[in-house]
């Protein structure tokens, strides 16, 4: 006789399989989900003389502050004097900023467990590591040089630091390498995996990286419309397509997965609205959908980067509307 827990496990698996089976055939499966959040936008008080630009990344640091990464006002920071990295309290008060004159096009953003700030520049092909006050600690890659060598990046889209200090960097933003690189904490090459394609372990713009409490690496494989999950050696575990076209990923301490989808609808993903989908990083079950203000725009819109704080508030970094949105849990 089955125990109650066994029966519930079977029911949960059946629901997940149902979501997976209809995700591509029925947009309503991805659109018609509850939204227990209230949108606050634009969020945070900018310092005098600086307005919101094209926000691309947002995360809460171990110090409790909210760190934001943006692309200045022209989608590029070349010859711009805006600081691309901004820090705020959780109540939205400005604390500090840095990075003027350092970036070509800001892209990936990550705060590690020690509070260090990691960024990628997908046009300069470099990864920077800063401390939480903006002091540059490390530069990986060779500025302005792209390639598939062990110490050279090709359009690095995101960076993630595992608890043991190893560094993962996703490469490929429309051309060239589509691969994940694994480096030591000092930036020495360990291995790489992936190539261009749609098979398991292949990528078409691996746009975002995250890791769950089990140490599994989540890759937002945007043009393939899926999240791929690997162990830290690059072995494929599974893939999920029920989160739309993933541009940004965040996983909270309780293993909730937040996926920013700013490229669905239109020919890219017909009928599937843009927004942030929230579900379980354990089994992929969908829970909520924060619909974007331009959910049915034919252009890329909505949050491209996503973060979550310790109180469960969700942050959307919006390029097109040049703002940071906060979605407060009701």
> Which residues, other chains included, contact 102 with Cβ-Cβ below 8 Å and sequence gap of 6+?
77, 84, 128
pLDDT per residue as tens, the chain (330 positions): 445 444 444 444 444 554 444 444 578 889 999 999 999 998 999 988 889 999 999 999 999 999 999 999 888 999 999 999 999 999 999 999 999 999 999 999 999 999 999 999 999 999 999 999 999 999 999 999 999 889 999 999 999 999 999 999 999 998 779 999 999 999 999 999 999 999 999 999 999 999 999 999 999 999 999 999 999 999 999 999 999 999 999 999 999 999 999 999 988 899 999 999 999 999 999 999 999 999 999 999 999 999 999 999 999 999 999 999 999 999
Quote the CA–CA distance of 64 and 267 in Å, as a whole number: 40
Contact predicate 58/66, CB 8 Å: yes
Tokens representing residue 151 in the block:
């110490």
* CATH number for position 216: 2.120.10.30
233-266 b/e with 16+ CB inside 10 Å = b? ebeeeebbbbbbbbbbbbbbeeebbbbbbbbbbe
Distances (CA, A) of 49 to 46, 63, 89, 254: 8, 26, 19, 39
| Full residue range of the structural domain in which residue 68 is found | 4-329
- How many structural domains is the chain composed of? 1
* DSSP state letters, 226-273: EEEEE-TT--EEEEE-TT-S-SEEEE-TT-EEEEEE-S-BTTTBTTPP
């Amino acid at each position: 006789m089955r125990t109650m827990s066994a029966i519930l496990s079977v029911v949960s698996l059946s629901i997940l399989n149902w979501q997976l089976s209809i995700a591509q055939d029925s947009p309503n499966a991805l659109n018609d989900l509850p939204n227990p959040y209230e949108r606050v936008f634009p969020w945070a008080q900018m310092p005098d003389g600086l307005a919101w630009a094209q926000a691309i990344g947002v995360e809460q640091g171990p110090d409790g502050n909210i760190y934001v990464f943006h692309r200045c006002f022209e989608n590029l920071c070349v010859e711009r004097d805006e600081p691309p990295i901004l820090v705020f309290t959780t109540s939205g008060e400005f604390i500090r900023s840095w990075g003027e004159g350092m970036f070509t096009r800001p892209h990936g953003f990550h705060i590690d467990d020690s509070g260090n700030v990691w960024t990628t520049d997908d046009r300069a092909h470099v990864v920077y590591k800063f401390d939480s006050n903006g002091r540059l600690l490390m530069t990986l890659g060779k500025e302005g040089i792209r390639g598939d060598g062990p110490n050279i990046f090709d359009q690095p889209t995101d960076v993630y630091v595992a608890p043991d200090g190893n560094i993962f960097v996703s490469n490929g933003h429309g051309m060239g390498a589509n691969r994940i690189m694994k480096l030591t904490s000092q930036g020495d090459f360990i291995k790489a995996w992936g190539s261009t394609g749609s098979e398991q372990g292949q990528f078409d713009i691996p746009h975002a990286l995250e890791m769950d409490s089990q140490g599994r690496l989540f890759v937002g494989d945007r043009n393939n419309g899926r999240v791929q999950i690997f162990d830290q050696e690059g072995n494929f575990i599974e893939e999920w397509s029920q989160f739309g076209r993933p541009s940004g990923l965040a996983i909270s301490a309780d293993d909730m997965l937040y996926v920013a989808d700013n490229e669905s609808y239109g020919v890219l993903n017909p009928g599937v609205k843009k927004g942030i989908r929230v579900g379980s990083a354990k089994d992929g079950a969908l829970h909520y959908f924060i619909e974007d203000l331009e959910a049915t725009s034919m252009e890329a819109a909505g949050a491209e980067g996503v973060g979550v704080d310790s109180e469960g508030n969700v942050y959307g970094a919006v390029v097109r509307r040049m703002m940071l949105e906060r979605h407060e849990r009701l």
